[in-house]
Amino acid sequence: MKLRKRLEFKPEVATGSLNDIMFFLLLFFLLVATFANPNVIKLLLPKSASNQTLDKKQITLSITKEKNYFIDKEQIQFNKLEGSLKAIKQRISDVTIVLRTDNSLTIQDLIDVLAIGNKLQIKMILATEKRAS
């Protein structure tokens, strides 16, 4: 007597296209992350214990470690900084300037910019990164 083997059903998941899908998702998230902050100049910000965000109209003033000054993404010389901030204050009445300074700059560099803001009576805040706990 000859017995037949039963055919066993083995479920399989086809994963051939999974690599393509993962590649496109990775590409999408990299592009979105790049376009999320187009006006950002790469700086190493100083660390602080807490972070706050602002909802008002804000202008970014970035200072690189080479002491290059940028208002939003436009480079400006230090001797023209006061005139540019004055023009911004005339255009926007309740403006907040977010200072993004490299952490290798001296305190005097920060004080020079804050003195200009104080003279023009512009609200300035210092951007920091949250300190790792």
Whether 67 maps to a domain, the answer reads: yes
Q: What is the CATH number of the domain that holds 52?
A: 3.30.420.270
Asked whether residue 132 carries a pLDDT value surpassing 90, the answer given is no
Q: Which residues does residue 58 pair with via DSSP β-bridges, in sequence order?
A: 96
Query: Looking at the whole model, is its pTM more than 0.75?
Result: no
| pLDDT at residue 8, rounded to an integer | 77
Identify the three-state secondary structure at position 112. Answer: helix
**What is the pLDDT, as a whole number, of residue 43?**
66
pLDDT classification of 133: cutoffs 50, 70, 90: low
Question: Is 110 part of any domain?
Answer: yes
| Listed residue (100, 99, 102, 98) closest to 44, CA to CA | 102
Q: Is 6 within the bounds of a domain? A: no
Q: How far apart are the first and last CA of the chain?
A: 75
DSSP string, 56-80: S-EEEEEE-TT--EEETTEEE-GGG
Instruction: Name the pLDDT band for 26 (thresholds 50, 70, 90).
Output: very high
* Least confident window among 39-43, 53-57, 106-110: 53-57
Q: Is residue 88 a contact partner of residue 58, using CB atoms and an 8 Å limit?
A: no
Let me know: does 125 contact 59? Beta carbons within 8 Å.
no
Domains contained in the chain, number? 1
Whether residue 117 is contained in a domain is answered as yes
Lowest mean pLDDT among 42-46, 57-61, 99-103: 42-46
Distance CA 120, CA 115 (A): 9
- Residue 77 within a domain: yes
